[in-house]
């Protein structure tokens, strides 16, 4: 019967190789996430600067119910929204029905903030809490990002 023995040197080489691989994967993830955050920050700053230059209301307060409903019907019908509470390691899925209602645990809600409040148990801006992937290259993005992008393209 043939046996192979691992030497301490072989084990050390394996561990070094494993560390290198893990380090490489972590760096890829961090680089990707840094690019996502950078893109979100640049978009936010761009809208803030443009709104200030034009004398518009702050970005957070400038959307009305009609605009929100238009965005929901144009972009989110049939989509699954993702809400995450990272500290708790919880992930929530909400489906947007054909009539623009938000369905969570079989119950229908009229707005993303309403269902966000149900999930978190406190006041919640659903446009900031939920994310959706409309473009695989962009990945998951906040509803507020998609709303700003959509309404800017409408002007």
Q: Which two tokens stand for residue 2?
A: 């043939």
Strand duo 130-133 + 80-85: pairing: antiparallel
Domain ranges for the chain: 8-62, 63-154
| DSSP H helices in 55-111 | 65-71
pLDDT of residue 39 exceeding 90, the answer is no
Average confidence score pLDDT of the chain: 86
Please count the other Cβ atoms lying within 10 Å of the Cβ belonging to residue 69.
Answer: 13
pLDDT tens digits, 46-98 = 777 776 777 665 545 468 888 999 999 999 999 999 999 888 889 999 999 99
Q: How confident is the model at residue 2 (pLDDT cuts 50, 70, 90)?
A: low
CA 62, CA 133: separation in Å to the nearest integer? Answer: 24
pTM for this prediction: 0.60
């Amino acid at each position: 019967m043939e046996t192979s023995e691992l030497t301490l040197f072989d084990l050390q080489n394996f561990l070094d190789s494993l560390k290198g691989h893990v380090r490489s994967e972590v760096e890829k993830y961090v680089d990707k996430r840094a690019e996502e955050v950078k893109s979100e920050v640049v978009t936010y700053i761009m809208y803030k600067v443009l709104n200030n230059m034009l004398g518009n209301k702050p970005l957070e307060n400038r959307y009305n119910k009609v605009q929100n409903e238009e965005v929901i019907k144009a972009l989110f019908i049939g989509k699954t929204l993702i809400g995450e509470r990272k500290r708790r390691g919880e992930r929530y899925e909400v489906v947007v029905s054909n009539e623009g209602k938000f369905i969570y645990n079989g119950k229908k809600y009229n707005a993303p903030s309403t269902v966000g409040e149900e999930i978190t148990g406190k006041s919640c801006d659903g446009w900031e809490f939920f994310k959706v992937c409309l473009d695989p290259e962009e990945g998951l993005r906040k509803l507020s990002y998609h709303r700003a992008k959509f309404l800017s393209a409408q002007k």
